[in-house]
Chains A and B, each alone.
Chain A
Amino acid sequence: MAEFHYKLDDDGIATITWDVPEKSMNVLSFDGLRELDAHVDTALGDDAVKGVIITSGKKDFAGGMDLNILARMGAEAGDNPAEGIFNGIMQLHGALRKIELAGMDRKTKKGGKPIVAALPGTAAGIGFELPLACHHIIVADNPKAKLGLPEILVGLFPGAGGATRVPRKIGLMAAAPILMEGRMQSPAKMKGLGLIDEVVPAENLIAAAKAWISSAKDADLVKPWDQKGYKYPGGAPYHPAGFQMFVGANVMIHGKTQGVYPAAKSLLAAIYEGAIVPFDTALKVEARWFTKVMTTPSTAGMIRSLFLNKQALEKGAVRPKEIDDQRVKKLGVLGAGMMGAGIAYVSALAGIEVVLIDATQEAAERGKAHSEGILDGGIKRKKVTPEKKEAVLANITPTTDYGALKGCDLIIEAVFEDPKVKAGVTKQAEEVIPADCIFASNTSTLPISSLASASTRPEQFIGIHFFSPVHKMNLVEIIKGHKTGPRAVAKALDFVRQIRKTPIVVNDERFFYANRCIIPYINEGVLMVKEGVRPALIEHAARLFGMPLGPLQLTDETSIDLGVKIAKATKAAMGNAYPNDAADEVMFKLFDEGRYGRKTNGGFYAYDDKGKRIGLWQGLAQHWPPKAEQPSLEDVKMRLAMVQTLEAVRAFETHVLEDIREGDVGAILGWGFAPWSGGPFSWLDILGAKQAVGICDHLEKTYGARFAAPDLLRELAAKGETFYGRFGPADQAAA
């Protein structure tokens, strides 16, 4: 089926319209590329054609490359994946370069046909790189339009000329936020940067394109880099000003990524090496580095978890198929504390009617005020209109009256973490709510099955565990109790989809999935303090593995009193089997000294009066003096990494996790597990089970039984298998 349509008007202007069938957003496939290329050939070869408009048949221009295809490119390239990918990318460069040169004489730069990109809306990734190869870019003043190159966010870089054309046009400094942070911009901002040429009213888009074609002269078609005497804006690497900039970029990217993101390194290398050579050579250099990224296992892991599987889970990959639409119309939130207020906000934002209940009217109002605060912040940053604010707030009714829950189809309780309190509100609500209403608990620590015993309809009882702060954290952990039925699961999933977050569904075990893995990570870090490992080494090792926060900083953020509370409750529940006494000694000591973390301006770190973290607390070295002989960085790193990863494997072995995709996506979104790796299961696949078992054996021998390789991992090692090979969807086996 055609993805690009060609039409020649009487005025001699050909229009190539991108309109991929059965998709709401255009994405580029190799078939599509061949069609586009053929149409360009037609236009350039037809004397009747004066100029070409490339536009879209949809409300947006294009979303980028089909990442599914990218993910498979290496695998389909046969014996020499690198060469296959490189050749594929060079074809792409060839097609775009043909558009850019448009048939002009390479020497005189005359005789080319003007080719204009006319973008009705959003253009991302290759959807923006294709316009960058055109001679002129006109964008409709569509308020929803975002333009940019977000590839870096899924572990790639703009490899269809973006890494070469953008810095050559605007210089490394201006290109950095576009390329290295993947920041999408409004058309007005892009025009300010000089990456697009015109912003026009939507209805004038094609007319403006035609007007430009009619007035275009030969010189208008020649890109700066194809002109004599071209100078790299801001200076190429060995120009004095450019040198400082390139050195600075290396340092900033290296420090920020902690060296674990191959795409960031390769992107910078492509820009640097490309800046020194002629344009066509630079494209080749870009293709070589892009190929390098594509063949790095981390890239496949990142694309798989951060894009493909995240999207699949959001679209209901694990939803019970037989249940009909369960979208929420009226939500009751019990408890207007931090979590309840956050849940009310994200729900109201999605247009859901929310009843927000607390014990006093004042507390309920305070919960609603939380939404107001966030929305006001949005207005200040010009992200929210006053009308939007009113509409969202109008969705929230704060009250103390349980009678207001009548007609709710979903209740989420977020009251104090005490089974008795929770049982009380469950009963109170069930007296009022409809018989088919689903009741959810936002507990982070209490078993769902036992909370469900307070309910008269346990098959309609489920856990919906949000992370804090609710409006920023995108993961929602859905917990099935022993009796939870499929409609409750579908309800929870449909609700999470409504509020545009990413769900994972897990079974009911202590701490579910996320906390089950985070707690050992924190404990391992704290235990090392007790052992006399330098706290700086612990924190840096975690960051060098790719964790956003070291375990000690994370503890300060989540608060030490909470940690102590969980530790005491866990110990009471586990008795002699409780493994964390050594780590607890440190936590309890800080607790006794009133150092609860950030909230008391003191914890593992010291803070100034304004709450700014100023460094590790000097007292740590007095209580737990660093040993003279420090462990290797690698050991510290592997302890912190494996302790979480093995917990994830055990969660899968014991069916708390049903799907490794959820384990990986949940780990990255839930607690920031080294995103470069694609998640704990991807990481083990990258390492290879055999090597992973070797690491476990070493750690077990040196540091204790908690590092014993799980049976499943040993089995994979023995058979030479991978997690995604055995448990992943058929097309995701290649890591």
Chain B
Amino acid sequence: MTEAYIYDSVRSPRGKGKTDGTLNEVPAVRLSALALNEIKTRNNLDGHAVEDVIWGNVTQVGEQGACLARSAVLYSDLDESIPGVAVNRFCSSALESVNMAAAQVMAGMGEGYIAGGVESMSRVPMGSDGGAIAADPTLAMKSYFVPQGISADIIATKYGFSRDDCDALAVESQRRAARAQKEGRFAKSMFTVRDQNGIAILDHDEMVRESTDMQTLGALRPSFKDMGETMPGFDAVALMKYPELEKINHVHHAGNSSGIADGTSAMLVGSKAFGEKYGLTPRARFKRMTKIGTDPTIMLTGPVSVTEKILKETGMKFSDIDLFEVNEAFAAVVLRFMTYFDADPDKVNVNGGAIAMGHPLGATGAVILGTLLDEMERADKETGLATLCIGSGMGVATIIERV
């Protein structure tokens, strides 16, 4: 089997995903093209160098519709001979895209790929693509559909994470992200988003709030209490699936959940031959990629299940992994991962996560894999695992090793 390698990893800064966010003015297709061009330029690639652009993107309507991947290729400096495929596995879309690229390299179906993703949540709101799982009564009832925030609160209730536990994790995420920013730990991957004249628009993750502490978080209202307890009453559905719980403890709020964000990320994935052809040095090797389906109601416990699965598939022990990136969709997701595996907090999300910096849905998967790789190099660690929880009850994990 051919080995697949990561040759490069880039990402944009994450902007606040609302209309007052700095990246709100940048169309998703241009944001995507900036990432593609960055990969091309940094690695001196020919315009036709890669086989495909595999591009994660969750809300595929409006300007993100009509196969944004192909649109991004045509918008970019890449050659029109490169196709493009838009991939949606919700929050893991970009990691899924990278995994698909790696798998195709391993299978010998192609030599080099650009994979990653984009989401402009300020321009194409989350959920604006509808979805049968919520609206179709047959499916919504069969799957006991509740929104993710309710699911996160089920995790907290079921596994006993208090509001303070969740807030403490959020404070730590902010502290780590601020430290990483100050020490320039993201510099290797992050490019400045510029306008069509080359004028800088954003050069740092703008959502980080270093001053966050337990007091500031304590003042925030729980985000999912009203929809859970009164209109339309999701808790009743949650309790049908988890009848051992008396009621749902609503602990998540804007400060201990991932931020709505705009951003993009891309990786250059290829075979050994591909690197040799372009004079590139491989930075990491893909050890294994896997995914799993889990209960759609609690929805966000996938990272635990998929990590167990990938460890089994690789014959590795949890302690064999030096560093972890577990997407901070909600504090309870990370807490569940850490308590289940009794993980050393110093090995998980070392440079903060989506609670501090934001979670541009279709881009985050490659963002965290890139952050993991950068940190493995900085701290000189061998093996890293990136994992995300996923809408409708799924999980994905990727293990990489430095070369």
Q: In whole angstroms, what is the CA distance A268 to B139 when docked?
A: 11
- List which B16-53 residues lie within 8 A (CB) of chain A: none
Q: Which residues of B contact A256 (CB under 8 A)?
A: 236
Say how far B99's CB is from chain A's closest CB, in angstroms. Answer: 31
How far is B281's CA from A142's CA once the two chains are assembled, in angstroms?
A: 88
Q: Does B134 contact A (CB under 8 A)?
A: yes
Q: If A246-B135, A248-B231 touch, does A265 touch B141 (CB 8 Å cutoff)?
A: yes
Known: A251-B233, A615-B246. A269 touches B240 (CB 8 A): no
- CB of B137 within 8 A of CB of A250, answer yes
Decide yes or no whether A160 CB sits under 8 A from chain B: no
Assess the A544–B240 pair: CB atoms within 8 A. yes
Contact assessment for B240 and A243 in the assembled complex, using a CB-CB cutoff below 8 Å: no
Q: Identify which of A237, A240, A254 contacts B236 (C-beta below 8 A).
A: A254
Q: How far is the CA of A536 from the CA of B158 in the complex (A)?
A: 13
Closest chain B residue, CB of each to CB of A631: B244
Contact A541–B243 (Cβ < 8 Å) = yes
Does A540 sit within 8 A of B, measured CB to CB? yes
Size of interface on B: residues with Cβ below 8 Å to A:
25
What A residues does B130 contact at CB under 8 A? 237-238, 243
B243 near A536 with CB under 8 A, answer yes
Question: Is A534 interfacial (CB 8 A cutoff)?
Answer: yes
CA distance A254 to B136 in the complex (A): 12
Within 8 A of B (CB), among A251-291: 251-256, 258-259, 265, 268-269, 272-273
Verify if A207 is at the interface (C-beta below 8 Å from B).
no
Instruction: Name the residue of chain B whose CB is nearest to the CB of A534.
Output: B244
| Distance A503 CA – B136 CA, assembled complex (angstroms) | 42
**A535 to B243 CA separation, bound complex (whole angstroms):** 10
When the two chains form the complex, which single residue of B137, B145, B234, B244 contacts A253, counting CB atoms closer than 8 Å? Answer: B137
Contact A258 B138 (CB under 8 A): no
Q: Are the C-beta atoms of B135 and A247 separated by less than 8 Å?
A: yes
B144 cross-chain contacts in A, Cβ below 8 A: 254
Asked whether any CB of chain A lies closer than 8 Å to the CB of B197, the reply is no
Q: How far is the CB of A266 from chain B (nearest CB, A)?
A: 8
Residues of A contacting B287 with CB < 8 Å?
Answer: none
B215 interface hit (Cβ, 8 Å): no
A264 CA / B2 CA spacing, docked (Å): 55
Q: How far is the CB of B245 from chain A (nearest CB, A)?
A: 6
Are B244 and A537 touching (Cβ within 8 A)?
yes
Q: Mark A287-305, 1 if CB is under 8 A from B, else 0.
A: 0000000000000000000
- Cβ of B232 under 8 Å from chain A: yes
**Chain A residues positioned under 8 Å from B136 (CB to CB):** 237, 269, 272-273
How many angstroms between the C-alpha atoms of A251 and B233 in the bound complex? 7
Please give the distance in Å from B145's CB to the nearest CB on chain A. 7
A240 touches B128 (CB 8 A): yes
A216 contact set on B, CB distance < 8 A: none
Q: Does A33 contact B (CB under 8 A)?
A: no
CB atoms of B232 and A248 under 8 A apart: yes
Task: List, in ascending order, chain B residues with CB within 8 A of A536's CB.
Answer: 243-246
B237 close to chain A: CB less than 8 A: yes
CA distance A251 to B134 in the complex (A): 9
Interface presence of B247 (CB below 8 A): yes
CB distance from A302 to the nearest CB of B (A): 19
Q: Are A250 and B240 in contact (CB under 8 A)?
A: no
Q: For window 520-544 of chain A, which residues contact chain B by CB distance below 8 Å?
A: 534-537, 540-541, 544
Given contacts A243-B130, A252-B233, A237 and B240 within 8 Å (CB-CB): no
27 contacts across the A-B interface (CB closer than 8 A): A240-B128, A243-B134, A246-B137, A247-B145, A248-B231, A250-B137, A250-B141, A251-B146, A251-B236, A254-B141, A255-B236, A255-B237, A255-B240, A259-B240, A265-B137, A265-B141, A268-B137, A269-B137, A272-B136, A534-B244, A537-B243, A540-B239, A540-B243, A544-B240, A630-B244, A633-B243, A633-B244
- Please name 7 further chain A to chain B contacts, defined as beta carbons within 8 Å, in addition to the given A246-B135, A254-B141, A255-B240, sorted by A numbering: A247-B232, A252-B232, A256-B236, A269-B136, A536-B243, A541-B243, A630-B244
